[in-house]
C-alpha cells in the first residue's frame, strides 16, 4: 500500500565537479525555496578540495569515491569530465536507495533553476509511476539545424538533465542494468549510437510499464524546445504557454556570450525575444554572485600522478586498447603511452609511440599523409606530431620518446628543431606549398622538399 505523499522519504540530488559549483548553488538555492521538505544531496564528481565549499546549508555533499564503485580509478580514468559526471547517475541513485532508504528520488542537472514546486513529478508517483522522464521535444522540429528532430533522435529522445524514480523492484532492476552499461559505455559517440547516459534511457519505456512521460510544457524548458513553447514574463515571474514555469534548463549557457541562450545551437542568439533575454540576464547575474574566482577548481581526475595533463585522446586510447582493467591508470598509463607501437618500434630512427599510433589510426587524413611503414613517412609524422601535440592537449612529456631516441647530432634532428622553431605550425602548410611550387629555383626547392616532403 502506498504511503501518503507527506510520509514518503524523498530526495533530490545533482552531480557536478568543482568547476560547476556556481551553477549548483543556483539550483540548490531554488530547491530550498520550493522544496524545503525534501533531503538534498550533491554527488561530487571530483576530488574534494578543502578550500572549495558549496556554501548552501542543508545540502549533503558526497564525493563519488565514497560510492565504492568497483575499480573506481579505472572508472574515473576512462571518461572525460562530461562522460564521468553522467556515468555516476545510476550509481548514486542506487546508493540513495540502498544506503539511505529513500523512496522517491529526483535527479536534476546543476544548470537547472526552479521557479515553482515540481508538483507534476510527485503527482506521477501518486498515480503509480515508477519512473518520470521528460522528452526533449513534444512536437515536430522540422528545420535544418540542431535541435531539429533528427538531431534529437541522435542525442536521445528524453533529456537526462531530469529523471525521477522510486524504490520499486522495477526501478531497482533498471538501475542495475543502467549501472552495468554506464560502467564501461557512457561515451559521447553519437556516430556509434551512444550519447553518454542519455541514449540508454530511450529503452526505458520499452523495458518497463509504469513510466510517466511528462509532456508538461512548463518542465525542463530549454533551447531544444523553446521553438515550440512561448516564454513570457509578468510582474510575478515567467510563464510558458500561459502557465507558470516550473524549471528552466540553462544547458550550454556561456557567461561570455550573454546574448546567446546556448553554445550547443546556433538558434536563440543576438536579437532574442525579450523574455528569453531577461531570463538569461537574471541567471548570469546569479552565476556572477555565486562565482568564487579565488579558488582553483581544476579537475581532480584530470592529471596523471606525475601531474601531466590527461588529454581526452588518452582516455579514448585507454578504453579502446586495454582489455584488462588497470588498478590505477593514473599511475601507469602515461608510461604505456610512451612505449613503442608494435613492429614499428624496430624501424629506427623515428619511433612511433602507442599514443602516436592511436592518433594516426583515428584520423584518415593522417593515414593518407604519412605511410608509417617507410622511414620518410615516420620522419614526416614525427615532425607533424611535435608541431601539433599542443593543439590536441598533449603535454611535451609525450614528445620525449621522439627526441630522446634520435641522435641529437644528426642533421635531420637538427633540421627538425630548426624548422619547428622558425616555422612553427606553418611547417605543414609550407610542405604542401613547396610540393606545388614552380616559381622557386630548383637549387632551393630540391633540398627543402627533401626536408619537408
**Full pLDDT tens readout for the chain, 453 residues:** 455 555 689 999 999 999 999 999 999 999 999 999 999 999 999 999 988 999 999 999 999 999 999 999 999 999 999 999 999 999 999 999 999 999 999 999 999 999 999 999 999 999 999 999 999 999 988 888 888 989 999 999 999 999 999 999 999 999 999 999 999 999 998 888 889 999 999 999 999 999 999 999 999 999 999 999 999 999 989 999 999 999 999 999 999 999 999 999 999 998 899 999 999 999 999 999 999 887 888 999 999 999 999 999 999 999 998 777 788 999 999 999 999 887 555 545 677 899 999 999 999 999 999 998 888 888 889 889 988 999 999 999 999 888 765 555 666 556 555 655 554 444 444 444 444 443 344 444 444 444 444
- Phi, psi torsion values for 11, nearest 5 degrees: -135, 145
Q: Could you tell me which residues come within 8 angstroms of residue 157 by beta carbon, excluding any fewer than 6 positions away? A: 135, 136, 202
Which residues pair with residue 212 across a beta bridge?
132
Distance of alpha carbon 330 from alpha carbon 328, whole angstroms: 5
Task: Measure CA of the first residue to CA of the last residue in the chain; give whole Å.
Answer: 77
Cβ neighbours around 85 below 10 Å, total? 24
Distance of alpha carbon 345 from alpha carbon 343, whole angstroms: 5
Structure confidence at residue 396 (pLDDT): 92
Query: C-alpha 259: how far from its chain's center?
Result: 24
Closest CA to 88 of 56, 112, 62: 62
Structure confidence at residue 450 (pLDDT): 46
* Beta strands 243-244; 112-114: pairing state: unpaired
- 5-290, what's its fold? Spore Coat Polysaccharide Biosynthesis Protein SpsA; Chain A (3.90.550)
- Phi, psi torsion values for 382, nearest 5 degrees: -60, -45
Distance of alpha carbon 41 from alpha carbon 15, whole angstroms: 9
* Beta strands 237-240; 131-133: pairing state: unpaired
Q: Could you tell me which residues come within 8 angstroms of residue 266 by beta carbon, excluding any fewer than 6 positions away? A: 145, 146
Structure confidence at residue 420 (pLDDT): 52
Query: C-alpha 239: how far from its chain's center?
Result: 31
In the chain, % helix, strand, coil (3-state, to 5) comes to 50, 15, 40
Domain limits, the chain = 5-290, 312-452
How far CA 305 is from CA of 202, 336, 339, in Å, comes to 38, 14, 18
Handedness of CA 108, 110, 113, 117 (dihedral sign): positive
| C-alpha cell read off for 118 | 515540481
Closest CA to 62 of 27, 93, 108: 93
Q: What is the CA radius of gyration of the chain?
A: 26
Structure confidence at residue 143 (pLDDT): 86
Distance of alpha carbon 332 from alpha carbon 310, whole angstroms: 12
Using DSSP's 3-state secondary structure scheme, residue 357 falls into helix
Amino acid at each position: 500500500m502506498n504511503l501518503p505523499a507527506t510520509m514518503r522519504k524523498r530526495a533530490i540530488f545533482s552531480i557536478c565537479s568543482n568547476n560547476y559549483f556556481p551553477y549548483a548553488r543556483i539550483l540548490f538555492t531554488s530547491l530550498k525555496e520550493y522544496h524545503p521538505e525534501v533531503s538534498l544531496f550533491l554527488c561530487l564528481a571530483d576530488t574534494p578540495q578543502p578550500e572549495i565549499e558549496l556554501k548552501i546549508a542543508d545540502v549533503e555533499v558526497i564525493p563519488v569515491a565514497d560510492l565504492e564503485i568497483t575499480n573506481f580509478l579505472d572508472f574515473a580514468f576512462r571518461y572525460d569530465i562530461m562522460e564521468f559526471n553522467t556515468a555516476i547517475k545510476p550509481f548514486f541513485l542506487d546508493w540513495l536507495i540502498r544506503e539511505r532508504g529513500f523512496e522517491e528520488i529526483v535527479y536534476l542537472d546543476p544548470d537547472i533553476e526552479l521557479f515553482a514546486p515540481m508538483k507534476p513529478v510527485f503527482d506521477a508517483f501518486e498515480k503509480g509511476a515508477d519512473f518520470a522522464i521528460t522528452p526533449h521535444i513534444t512536437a515536430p522540429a522540422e528545420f535544418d539545424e540542431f535541435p531539429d528532430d533528427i538531431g534529437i533522435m541522435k542525442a536521445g529522445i528524453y533529456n537526462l538533465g531530469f529523471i525521477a524514480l522510486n524504490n520499486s523492484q522495477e526501478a531497482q532492476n533498471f538501475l542495475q542494468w543502467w549501472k552495468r552499461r554506464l560502467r564501461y559505455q557512457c561515451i559521447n559517440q553519437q556516430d556509434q549510437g551512444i550519447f553518454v547516459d542519455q541514449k540508454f534511457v530511450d529503452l526505458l519505456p520499452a523495458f518497463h510499464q509504469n513510466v510517466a512521460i511528462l509532456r508538461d510544457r512548463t518542465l525542463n524548458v530549454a533551447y531544444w524546445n523553446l521553438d515550440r513553447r512561448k516564454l513570457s514574463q509578468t510582474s510575478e515571474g515567467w510563464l510558458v504557454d500561459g502557465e507558470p514555469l516550473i524549471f528552466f534548463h540553462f544547458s550550454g549557457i556561456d557567461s561570455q556570450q550573454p546574448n546567446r541562450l546556448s553554445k550547443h545551437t546556433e538558434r536563440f542568439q543576438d536579437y532574442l525575444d525579450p523574455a528569453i533575454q531577461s531570463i538569461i540576464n537574471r541567471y548570469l547575474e546569479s552565476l556572477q554572485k555565486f562565482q568564487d574566482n579565488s579558488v582553483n577548481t581544476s579537475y581532480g581526475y584530470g592529471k596523471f600522478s606525475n601531474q601531466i595533463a590527461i588529454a581526452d585522446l588518452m582516455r579514448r586510447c585507454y578504453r579502446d586498447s586495454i582489455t584488462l582493467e588497470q588498478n590505477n591508470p593514473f599511475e601507469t598509463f602515461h608510461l604505456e603511452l610512451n612505449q613503442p607501437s608494435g613492429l614499428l618500434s624496430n624501424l629506427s630512427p623515428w619511433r612511433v609511440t602507442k599514443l602516436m599510433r592511436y592518433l594516426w589510426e583515428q584520423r584518415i587524413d593522417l593515414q593518407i599523409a604519412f605511410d608509417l611503414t617507410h622511414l620518410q613517412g615516420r620522419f614526416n609524422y614525427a615532425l607533424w606530431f611535435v608541431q601539433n601535440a599542443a593543439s590536441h592537449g598533449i603535454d611535451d612529456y609525450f614528445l620525449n620518446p621522439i627526441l630522446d631516441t634520435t641522435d641529437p647530432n644528426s642533421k635531420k634532428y637538427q633540421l627538425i628543431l630548426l624548422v619547428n622553431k622558425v616555422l612553427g605550425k606553418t611547417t605543414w602548410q609550407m610542405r604542401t606549398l613547396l610540393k606545388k611550387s614552380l616559381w622557386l629555383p630548383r637549387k632551393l626547392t630540391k633540398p627543402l622538399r627533401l626536408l619537408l616532403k
